[in-house]
């Protein structure tokens, strides 16, 4: 459902992160879209430049010019009248919203809260200004958090006295904060309570007694205290107590090697936990995340049913905590490895914008690389790694991000550590073998090749023949690799994009594109389809030190078949290679935009 619908010819689709003007996607970047949504959410008031910058660039120090540039981009896309500049105060979104569409979506995703003007029970008319001031300050504090929709004071302050009962129906909010203020001599007593709009039950309340020495200081203190309490109520979702043995099962469900057998065991433990403690949101999130990871080892013919189960479990976790990282990651994992990148990107964006922490945050960079955003992925992975530098998957993902950026020398020591500490983890050995190959450390390559005979690489077996050909690239060895490559395509009628990258890197660019044109680029749904997290995914297409496939002008056509061009054209978020290849990448993508469905068949 749409998050907002602007009357006229402009449609804002929040869940898809798209804006349509006359039915066509507007070329807005991620920050411009974030700014637009922030302006829409606070459309009933003027929002200052400082507040906009804090909401759109949280935790970052940016120049005011960045805001000006994004405002200009929005006005260019939506029309100059869409956003009004209020001199000395800030900006305001001015286009009217379709009330019906907005009513359908205000409850979606995050809570929407109406903060009412607190009742003045003191009998002192001057205290009404204080009462309104406390409520307004709470609105300001909550709005800066960007974690929930906050209805502006112009609307919520209209409901006073007996009219407060109308606020839920009129403003379509999910929660209402109300309160009262009483003054006695030199002291004040402020009571506040939060009501769930659907059940009409009070879910939080508090009373504050303070001396009234400095009215403005007390106002700030009370507002800050209430705003912090509400943030905790909504977003630091505290799990209700669970039995000690149930919690022990949850702790034991955390995987180390991420092998299929270990994942299946962890999923079994979490199924028991969620059955015994259905309110345990962290367990539901981890269950969705680990089942989704296990999903990537299932035969493709069995994945639809598995994906539905992951989505159900993730939805339950998100109903308890709308920002649960693990549940969001699980939803990303079960999207097909190629095809619908627009929906995939929307999920990744939602994951990247969720506050807090969780295993799911580790994968944001990994997911970004599938659409070619290698530099951004490295920065994101570095942030996650700094917060969890001892976790095995965190280390693995950091090393992979270095590899993708052409920094094999920094990746190799991380992989070495994992190979020694967690022998059952197959990812690091395969990746270390590739890292040492690109570093031309042939002594280590030979040692690792010997080690692969003792420790199976599972889905990474293709690494070995590639490394052998690159280790000794004689015409005979390259021809042997080509023959095996072509024989597999003839037998299975499909090819993995990773093999296309390997072929091009070994000097077989024409052979790679001939293979892509002659067969399915993806699983054939037979017994030996490639399994695991990287099977048929597109990240390797953008690895920095293997540019041969990208450097050929046929690359955009391949990307169009996989669904990537549609994403880049719709979002204007281009892969790093856009300015690196020796041809006009954007022009070629534009040419492919009109390709027929048959030309884009996977």
Range ranked top by mean pLDDT from 177-186, 340-349, 368-377, 460-469: 368-377
Strand partners, 495: 521
Give the residue-averaged pLDDT of 569-593. Answer: 91
The last residue of one of the domains, among 440, 466, 492, is 466
pLDDT of residue 263: 92
The average confidence (pLDDT) of the chain is 82
Same domain flag for 399 and 298: yes
Work out the end-to-end distance of the chain between its first and last CA atoms, rounded to an integer number of angstroms: 28
Report the pLDDT value the prediction gives residue 227, as an integer from 0 to 100: 65
Q: Is residue 213 part of a domain?
A: yes
What's residue 60's pLDDT?
64
Domain contains 545: no
Whether 597 shows a pLDDT value over 70: the answer reads: no
CA distance 182 to 184: 7
Residues 416 and 284 in one domain: yes
Whether the CB-CB separation of 15 and 5 falls below 8 Å is answered with: no
| pTM, to two decimals | 0.61
Residues 120, 250 share a domain: no
Based on the domain organization, do 120 and 95 belong to the same domain?
Answer: no
Assess whether pLDDT exceeds 80 at residue 581.
Answer: yes
**Averaged pLDDT for residues 289-294:** 94
Helices 30-41 & 64-78, crossing angle to 10 degrees? 80
Greater model confidence, 362 or 25: 362
Q: With a cut of 80, say whether residue 564 has pLDDT above it.
A: yes
**CB-CB contact of 152 with 44 (8 Å):** yes
* Residue 335: inside a domain: yes
* Residue ranges making up the domain that contains 30: 4-105
My answer on whether 68 and 194 are in the same domain is no
Examine residue 410 and state whether it is found in any structural domain, yes or no: yes
Residue 55 lies in a domain: yes
Percentage of the chain with pLDDT > 90?
Answer: 29
Here the CATH number for the domain that contains residue 457 is 1.25.40.10
* Minimum mean pLDDT range among 136-150, 229-243, 484-498: 229-243
Same-domain status, 258 and 302? yes
Domain membership of residue 393 (yes or no) is: yes
Any domain includes 440: yes
Say yes or no: 215 and 313 in one domain: no
Residue 116 and residue 101 share a domain: no
Q: Does residue 478 surpass a pLDDT of 90?
A: yes
Rounded average pLDDT over 69-82: 85
Query: Which two three-digit tokens encode residue 284?
Result: 């539901």
What is residue 434's predicted lDDT score, i.e. its pLDDT?
93
Q: Which of 235, 268, 303 is the last residue of a domain?
A: 235
338 and 442 fall within a common domain: yes
Confidence at 216, pLDDT banded by 50, 70, 90: low
Domain annotation covers residue 435: yes
Phi, psi of 345 (to 5 degrees): -65, -35
The answer to whether residues 310 and 440 belong to one domain is yes
Alpha-carbon dihedral sign for residues 507, 509, 510, 515? positive
- Same structural domain, 124 and 56: no
d(CA 440, CA 472): 11
Nearest partner of 350 among 110, 172, 112, judged by Cα: 110
Number of domains in the chain: 4
CATH code of the domain in which 162 resides: 3.40.50.10610
Q: What pLDDT sits at residue 217? A: 66
- CATH number where 46 lies: 1.10.10.10
Same-domain pairing of 347 and 419: yes
Residues 407-447: tens digit of each pLDDT: 999 999 999 999 988 887 878 888 999 999 999 999 999 99
Residue 10's φ and ψ, nearest 5 degrees, are -115, 125
């Amino acid at each position: 459902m749409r998050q907002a619908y602007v009357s006229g010819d402009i449609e804002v689709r929040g869940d898809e992160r798209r804006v349509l003007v006359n039915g066509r996607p507007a070329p807005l970047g991620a920050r411009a879209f974030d700014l637009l949504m922030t302006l829409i959410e606070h459309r009933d008031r003027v929002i200052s430049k400082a507040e906009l910058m804090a909401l759109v660039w949280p935790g970052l120090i940016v120049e005011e010019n960045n805001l000006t540039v994004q405002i200009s981009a929005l006005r260019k896309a939506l029309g100059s009248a869409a956003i009004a500049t209020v001199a000395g105060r800030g900006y305001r979104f001015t286009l009217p919203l379709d009330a019906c569409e907005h009513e359908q979506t205000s409850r979606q995703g995050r809570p929407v809260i109406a903060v009412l003007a607190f009742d003045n029970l003191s009998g002192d008319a001057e205290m009404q200004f204080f009462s309104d001031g406390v409520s307004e300050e709470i609105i300001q504090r909550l709005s800066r958090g960007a974690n929930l929709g906050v209805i502006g004071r112009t609307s919520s302050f209209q409901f006073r006295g007996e009219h407060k009962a109308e606020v839920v129906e009129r403003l379509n909010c999910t929660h209402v904060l109300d309160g009262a203020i009483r003054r006695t001599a030199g002291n004040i007593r402020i009571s506040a309570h939060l009501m769930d709009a659907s059940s009409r039950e009070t879910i939080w309340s508090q009373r504050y007694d303070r001396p009234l020495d400095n009215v403005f200081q007390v106002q700030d203190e009370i507002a800050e205290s209430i705003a912090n309490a509400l943030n905790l109520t909504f977003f630091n979702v505290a799990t209700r107590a669970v039995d000690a043995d149930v919690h022990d099962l949850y702790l034991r469900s955390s995987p180390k090697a991420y092998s299929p057998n270990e994942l299946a065991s962890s999923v079994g433990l979490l199924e028991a936990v969620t059955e015994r403690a259905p309110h345990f949101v962290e367990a539901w999130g981890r269950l969705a995340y680990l089942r989704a990871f296990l999903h990537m080892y299932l035969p493709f013919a069995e994945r639809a049913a598995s994906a539905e189960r992951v989505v159900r479990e993730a939805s339950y976790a998100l109903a308890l905590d709308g920002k649960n990282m693990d549940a969001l990651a699980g939803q990303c994992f079960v999207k097909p490895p190629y095809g619908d990148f627009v929906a995939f990107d929307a999920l990744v964006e939602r994951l990247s914008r969720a506050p807090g922490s969780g295993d799911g945050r580790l994968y944001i960079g990994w997911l970004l690389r599938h659409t070619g955003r290698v530099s951004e992925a490295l920065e994101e992975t570095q942030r996650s790694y700094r917060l969890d530098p001892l976790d095995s998957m965190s280390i693995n993902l950091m090393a992979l991000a270095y590899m993708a950026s052409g920094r094999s020398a920094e990746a190799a020591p991380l992989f070495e550590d994992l190979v020694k500490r967690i022998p059952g983890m197959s990812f690091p050995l395969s990746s270390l073998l590739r890292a040492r190959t690109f570093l031309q450390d042939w002594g280590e390559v030979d040692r690792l090749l010997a080690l692969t005979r003792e420790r199976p690489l599972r889905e990474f077996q293709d690494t070995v023949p590639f490394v052998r050909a690159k280790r000794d690239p004689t015409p005979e060895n390259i021809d042997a690799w080509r023959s095996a490559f072509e024989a597999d395509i003839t037998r299975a009628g499909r090819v993995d994009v990773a093999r296309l990258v390997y072929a091009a890197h070994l000097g077989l660019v024409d052979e790679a594109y001939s293979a892509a044109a002659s067969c399915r680029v993806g699983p054939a749904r037979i017994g030996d389809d490639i399994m695991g997290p990287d099977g048929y995914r597109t990240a390797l297409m953008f690895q920095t030190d293997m540019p041969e496939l990208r450097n050929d002008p046929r690359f955009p056509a391949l990307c169009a078949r996989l669904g990537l061009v549609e994403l880049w054209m719709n979002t204007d978020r281009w892969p790093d290679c856009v300015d690196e290849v020796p041809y006009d990448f954007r022009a070629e993508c534009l040419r492919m935009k009109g390709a027929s469905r048959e030309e884009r068949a996977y």
